[in-house]
Amino acid sequence: MIAEHVAFGIIAAVMVASALRVVTTRDIVHAALYLVIVLAGVAALFLLVGAEFTGITQVLIYIGAVIVLFLFGIMLTRSDFDQDEETDHKRKFPAILTALLLAAVMIGALVDRFEDVELDATPQTTAQVSDELFSQYIVPFEAVSVLLLAALIGAIVIARREEGG
């Protein structure tokens, strides 16, 4: 049990430090790369509580796809090397306020639900995850699929309209 606590402490410290660098660095590509470390930390935490499938999915989706799209977008739009364009921190205070409010809500919700719950850290197999997903949680699962489909179609419609003028 102690090994898990030490591992959690190290991962959490690295994540917090990187997360701070995401918002304080002035180079937007560096910010995206620090975000990679934060997301890898999330994956490591999932593995630590035995959620293998979720941890690997985190790597595949967030690092392999979302961050790549971020970097892709940044590099397509800001590729002028001679101009040292840096991010300003003008809206610092609204950002801090939003972050504090979000933290308060999340901490409140998590403590309320998990205060006395001892998490079972035995590894969960993919078969167990899929069995639960397609029986107990089938309705939310299908609802999310429809929601994503709607978002996809919406994005295509918007992109097409701009193209047509």
Partner 1 sequence: MSSATVMSGLLAVEVPYWASAIIKLGVVALVVPTAALVLGYVFLLKMMSFMQSRLGPMEAGPYGTLQLLADGLKFIQKEDIFPEKADRTVFALAPLVVLISTFLIYVVIPTGPDAVVAQLDVGIFYALAVSSLSVVGILMAGWASANKYALMGGLRAAGQLIAYELPLVLAVMGVVIQAGTLDLQKIVAAQANGEIFGWGGIGNPFILTQFVGFFIFLVAVQAETTQPPFDMPVAESEIVGGYQVEYTGFRFLFFFMGEFGTAFAFAALAAVLFLGGWALPWGDLTHWGFNIAGPVIMLVKVLAVSALIFWFRFTYPRLREDQLQRLAWKFLIPLSLINIVVTGIFKVVL
Q: Which residues are at the interface with partner 1 (CB under 8 A)?
A: 27, 29-30, 33, 36, 52-53, 56-57, 59-60, 63-65, 67-69, 71-72, 75-76, 79, 81, 123, 125-127
CA atoms of 68 and 61, how far apart (whole Å): 10
Q: At what angle do helices 28-48 and 2-24 cross, to 10 degrees?
A: 160
Closest approach, Cβ 67 to partner 1, in A, equals 6
Closest approach, Cβ 26 to partner 1, in A, equals 13
43-74: buried (b, 16+ CB within 10 Å) or exposed (e) per residue?
Answer: bbbbbebebebbbeebbeebbeeebeebbeee
Closest approach, Cβ 78 to partner 1, in A, equals 10
Nearer CB in complex with partner 1: 27/86: 27
